[in-house]
Chains A and B, each alone.
Chain A
Amino acid sequence: DQQVKQNSPSLSVQEGRISILNCDYTNSMFDYFLWYKKYPAEGPTFLISISSIKDKNEDGRFTVFLNKSAKHLSLHIVPSQPGDSAVYFCAARDMEYGNKLVFGAGTILRVKS
C-alpha cells in the first residue's frame, strides 16, 4: 500500500512558466515532508522541506505548500528553467519511526525552452 503517491508520472512545462508537482499521502503520522531532485546517473539531491506545523516554505524559485487536512503537498517552481528538468521525488517522515523516509514514485519534469 503506497503511503506517498505522486499521481503524475510526468509533466511538461514551457520555460518561464510555473511548474506544479503534486504529492498525496495517507499516513497521518507523517510530520516532515521533503522534495528531492534527481538527475540521471546521480543520487537524489535535497531541494526543500516543510514541517507539519507549517503550511508554506519558500526558497528562491521553489515553494512547498502543505495542506494537512487534505493530506496533500505541492512543489511550485517559478519561473521554470531548462535545468530544472529532472525527476522529483516527494518524501515523508514517519514520526513513529525516527528519521525513516517514505518516498513517492517520482514525477519526471521536462522544461522546454
Chain B
Amino acid sequence: NAGVTQTPKFQVLKTGQSMTLQCAQDMNHNSMYWYRQDPGMGLRLIYYSASEGTTDKGEVPNGYNVSRLNKREFSLRLESAAPSQTSVYFCASGETGDQPQHFGDGTRLSIL
C-alpha cells in the first residue's frame, strides 16, 4: 500500500533556483497538506487543499505556491529558493471528521 508518495526524497538547490515538490495519495482523500519541519520545531503548515480545486494558506506560506492538480496530486513550488527554506517537507492527506492525516516520508531539501 503506497499511501502518500513524495518525490524527490532529497534535493540540493542553489539560492535563486526553482523547484517543484510532488505529492500523490492513493487513499481517495479529499484534503491534502504541505508541512515543513525544522530542528526543534514541530511540523508547520505551509498550504493546504480542503478539496480538489481549492487551496488555502497555512501558517508559513511565504515563498511557496501550490497546485492541486487533481484529487490525487498536490504539488509545492519554490519559485526562488532561499537558504531559510532548507527544511524537511512533508505532504499529508486526510478526510474530514475525526480522522487522522497520513504522511509521506518527506523531501529533504538543502538550499546553498
A residues apposed to B, CB below 8 Å: 4, 6, 9, 32, 34, 36, 41-46, 49, 51, 89, 91, 98-106
Contact = CB atoms under 8 A, between A and B. Distances in A.
Interface stretch (B11-19, B62-70, B79-87, B103-111): B103-111
B45 A43 contact: no
Contacts of A6: 42
A44 B90 contact: yes
Interface residues of B, number: 27
A111 B19 CA distance: 39
Contacts of B94: 99
A89 B50 CA distance: 23
B44 interface: yes
A105 B41 contact: yes
Q: Give 9 nearest A-B pairs by CB, closest first.
A: A103-B42, A43-B103, A46-B100, A103-B43, A43-B105, A105-B42, A44-B103, A104-B42, A43-B104
A91 B35 CA distance: 13
B103 A99 contact: no
Interface in B29-79: 31, 33, 35, 40-45, 48, 50, 58
Given A43-B105, A44-B90, A105-B42, A98 B98 contact: no
B40 A105 contact: yes
B101 interface: yes
Contacts of A32: 98
A100 B45 CA distance: 8
B31 A99 contact: yes
A9 B39 CA distance: 12
Contact of B101 (A42, A101, A105, A106): A101
A49 B58 contact: no
Contacts of B106: 41-43
B48 A89 contact: no
Contacts of A106: 42
